[in-house]
């Protein structure tokens, strides 16, 4: 098991890993609902739900599925990425890991909206703020960066002492947790960044 994610309402669970399939679960009843075969025949690094029930998988490509499990779109990318849906359901973000790129797709169609160079070396983690106005990335250049995804302007830069890997916002959106190969979890007050302070 490598990828595990609850749906926003906590009723469903998606799981994946080294097997050639991903499973959707009814968490309340503790029963399997559906298997989705790994189209690329590869392991699954990321499996996530959107707020409106879509499922995105990061394998050798990115696959976007409708809530009924039917494939909506497959997107070319250089490696199996971490993925994150925007809370407003408009976008899906991922990283082209080997190239240090961030890619953003339309979550309804799977068409690419924008991509930009976020890190020198690898781009390892990605997460949207609660109001969808900020995208945070973690990279092999030991930096965590906060971006305006509409303009691709960098809003802040947070250093680690080694390759940065994981990023996630607190439920209220005011604190950012980051981690990396320096074996540290860092908590950052990001409440004064104007884009984050805006009400969702």
pTM above 0.75, yes or no: yes
Q: What is the distance of C-alpha 56 from the center of its chain? A: 9
CA-closest candidate to residue 34, choices 61, 55, 64: 55
Name the residue with higher pLDDT: 36 or 7: 7
- Report the side by side order of strands in the sheet with 135-139: 123-128, 135-139, 143-148, 153-159
pLDDT at 38 > cutoff 70: no
Residue 119 CA to residue 143 CA, distance in Å, equals: 8
- Where helices occur in the chain by DSSP H, the ranges are 194-197
Other Cβ atoms closer than 10 A to 34: 15
96: which 2 tokens?
């082209």
What pLDDT does residue 152 have?
A: 96
What pLDDT does residue 44 have?
A: 80
Residue 129 CA to residue 175 CA, distance in Å, equals: 10
pLDDT at 78 > cutoff 70: no
Q: Please name every residue paired with 146 in a beta bridge, in sequence order, or none if there are none.
A: 136, 156
């Amino acid at each position: 098991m490598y990828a595990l994610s609850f749906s926003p309402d906590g009723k469903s669970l998606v799981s994946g890993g080294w097997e050639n399939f991903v499973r959707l679960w009814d968490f309340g009843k503790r029963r399997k609902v559906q298997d989705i075969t790994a189209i690329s025949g590869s392991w699954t690094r990321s499996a996530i739900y959107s707020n409106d029930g879509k499922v995105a998988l990061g394998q050798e490509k990115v696959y976007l599925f409708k809530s009924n499990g039917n494939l909506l779109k497959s997107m070319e990318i250089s490696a199996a990425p971490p993925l994150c849906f925007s809370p407003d359901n408009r976008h899906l973000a991922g990283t082209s890991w080997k190239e240090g790129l961030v890619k953003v797709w339309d979550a309804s169609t799977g068409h690419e909206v924008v991509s930009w160079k976020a890190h020198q070396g690898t781009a390892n983690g990605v997460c949207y703020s609660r109001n969808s106005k900020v995208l945070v990335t973690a990279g092999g250049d030991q930096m965590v960066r906060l971006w305006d995804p509409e303009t691709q302007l960098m809003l802040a830069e947070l250093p680690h002492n080694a390759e940065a890997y994981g990023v996630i916002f607190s439920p209220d959106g005011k604190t950012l947790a980051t981690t990396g190969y320096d074996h540290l979890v860092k908590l950052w007050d990001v409440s004064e960044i104007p884009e984050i302070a805006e009400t969702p």
